Every structure is written in C-alpha cells, then in structure tokens.
Amino acid sequence: MLTEAQRILIREICNLQYSSLTDILTQVDLYNDGDGEPYEDVMALLGFGRKDFDVQLIITINNFKGVMDDPEKVFELEELDMIVFRHILHNFSHWWSDRYPNAMANLWDKLFLQSITNELNRN
C-alpha cells in the first residue's frame, strides 16, 4: 500500500518523535510549564505522578518504534499519536518536499482516507 518513498517519510517522522520522547523519558527534571510551574506539580494536580507519566511515555515510544519498524502500521496509530504524526509531517514538510513531493501528497491522501474510513467504522 505504501511506496518506498512514503516508507522513508514515515520512518523519518517516527524517528523524530521517538528521539524526542526518549529525550523526555531520560530527563531527571521535566522543568516548568509556560507559567513557570514545575511539571511535576501540574501532574500532581491532575492526579498522576512521574511514574504514571513515564509508563504512558514508554507506550507511546513503543508505538512510534513499531511504526518505524513497519511503516504500514502508521494507519493503526491511535488518534492522539496520529495527530502528532500529522503535525510533524506538516511542520517538517520542507525537509521532504523537494525529495519526495509526490510521496508526501499521496501520503496525505492516504492518511485522509484512513481517517474517513475510521470515522465511518465508528458510526
């Protein structure tokens, strides 16, 4: 279903997210939010701790690693992970637009069709 160029795009996107999430996971201190409040305090107010956060982070890291290993699994990403995937594809499109213009356009089409299919299956 995917072309080799689309597989490359998907792997590069997943690698970006995998690296970013792994960096967050290995940080001892998550620092502060935009208002200067420590993230650990924000998490406590929301009823979870760093360990809970790390467990979910590991799940998300593994999801992106799975797609990196098998790009066809991109269509199996959960909604939030798919939003992040599309965000990266959009915001870093300048990296790939010269090398893979057709692959990018067709990947967007496939992602759109998959989202419509998922929506119809939910109803």
Domain coverage including residue 79:
4-122
- The fraction of the chain above a pLDDT of 70, given in percent, is 99
Mean pLDDT of 71-93: 94
- Size (the chain), residues: 123
Q: What is the mean pLDDT of the chain?
A: 91
pLDDT at res. 16: 95
C-alpha span between 123 and 52 (Å, rounded) = 32
Of the segments 20-29, 39-48, 50-59, which one has the largest average pLDDT value? 50-59
Q: Which residue has the tokens 């959009």?
A: 90
Tokens at residue 86, please? 């599309």
* Phi, psi (degrees; rounded to nearest 5) at 114: -65, -40
Give the number of other CB atoms < 10 A from CB of residue 114: 15
C-alpha span between 61 and 54 (Å, rounded) = 10
**∠ CA(82), CA(78), CA(46), 5° rounding?**
100
Q: pLDDT class for 73, splitting at 50, 70, 90?
A: very high
pLDDT at res. 116: 85
Please state the domain count of the chain: 1
